Amino acid sequence: MDMIDPFGRAITYLRVSVTDRCDFRCVYCMAENMTFLPRKDLLSLEELDRLCTAFINKGVRKLRLTGGEPLVRKNIMHLVHELSRHLKSGALEELTLTTNGSQLQRFAQELADAGVRRINVSLDTLDPEKFHAITRWGHLDKVLAGIDAALTAGLKIKINAVALRGFNDQEIPDMLRWAHGQGMDMTVIETMPMGEIDTDRTDQYLPLSLLRSQLERQFTLTDIPYKTGGPARYVEIAETGGRLGFITPMTHNFCESCNRVRLTCTGTLYMCLGQEDAADLRAPLRASEGDELLSKAIDEAIARKPKGHDFIIDRLTNRPSVSRHMSVTGG
């Protein structure tokens, strides 16, 4: 049976944050000294499997593992291998993940062996010094080696770059050529006001309409109907032969076609990335061995899915419009 929200949208895409921890501290995402959830609050890998399976039984066809950094969760490959049974049965069309690339050298081949076909790698710059500055703890050479390992393993890769004014906006043409030169798609994302961080977001914000007009000075962009199940709108770039996606939560929200919900590593379900409304699925999950209570809780949550989000970067108070960090909900 399918999950249909109050606005007639079928919910077929579940994003699961398997950990709120990360081995980077990207400046637009986290504060340097983050307080992470106590481990006892986290769902076990078995509980995550049970929850994901309940959603697949209710019509989810695409499952994305996120974080924090999903590959730093202890024994995460056990969960990936368990979930891959749904690919084999045909119940799940796609199992994928979003990663910062730091652990890909270790896990790329195993991910491919488990039936993962494509992954997203978050990467905002190809300049090693700028990379270290924006991630605080990351090393570009390790990420590039991870990307090579993933390509060698046969994984398709999409590079996700957050567009930051005065940081990487001038570099995006070169990143495009690099990504497309290796057969990778690329997506640029507007920075979103989520969670208290140590810098002022209003200075970093770059509307993608502006970026697009800058790109059009040196590239030919053609809108195409290509979709991967998420919110990106794609163009084809004649000069590189590759695809570029735009994710514009600030200047053009894409809520009318929203098909996704987000589950955190503590079992909290967010029906919208840009709203605070949430449902606790951990309590019904742990209350009984059967899934009737859980199923009912999921139905009640989907029935509250909002029409859309209202992100604003508030220049007066400089407060985020959503208080939780992006690393909690998993992008």
CA–CA dist 232, 211 (Å, integer): 15
Q: What are phi and psi of 164, to 5 degrees?
A: -120, 120
Has 261 been labeled as part of a binding site? yes
Has 305 been labeled as part of a binding site? no
CA–CA dist 161, 186 (Å, integer): 8
Has 304 been labeled as part of a binding site? no
Has 192 been labeled as part of a binding site? yes
Has 60 been labeled as part of a binding site? no
Has 15 been labeled as part of a binding site? yes
Has 26 been labeled as part of a binding site? yes
Which are the contacts of 201, defined by CB distance < 8 A and separation ≥ 6? 28, 191, 193, 313, 318, 320
Has 138 been labeled as part of a binding site? no
CA–CA dist 150, 87 (Å, integer): 20
Containing 95, the helix (H) or strand (E) segment is strand 94-99
C-alpha distances in angstroms, 83 versus 24, 95, 296? 26, 8, 22
What single letter denotes the amino acid at residue 126? L
Has 177 been labeled as part of a binding site? no
Has 245 been labeled as part of a binding site? no
Which are the contacts of 153, defined by CB distance < 8 A and separation ≥ 6? 108, 109, 111, 112
Has 29 been labeled as part of a binding site? yes
Has 22 been labeled as part of a binding site? yes
Contact indicator for 33, 64 with CB cutoff of 8 Å = no
C-alpha distances in angstroms, 214 versus 65, 211, 244, 246? 33, 5, 14, 14
Has 265 been labeled as part of a binding site? no
What would the two tokens of residue 30 be? Answer: 């986290």
Has 226 been labeled as part of a binding site? no
Has 98 been labeled as part of a binding site? yes
* Residues in binding site for S-adenosyl-L-methionine: 28, 68, 122, 192
* Residues in binding site for [4Fe-4S] cluster: 22, 26, 29, 255, 258, 272
* Residues in binding site for GTP: 15, 64, 98, 158, 260-262
* Residues in binding site: 15, 22, 26, 28-29, 64, 68, 98, 122, 158, 192, 255, 258, 260-262, 272
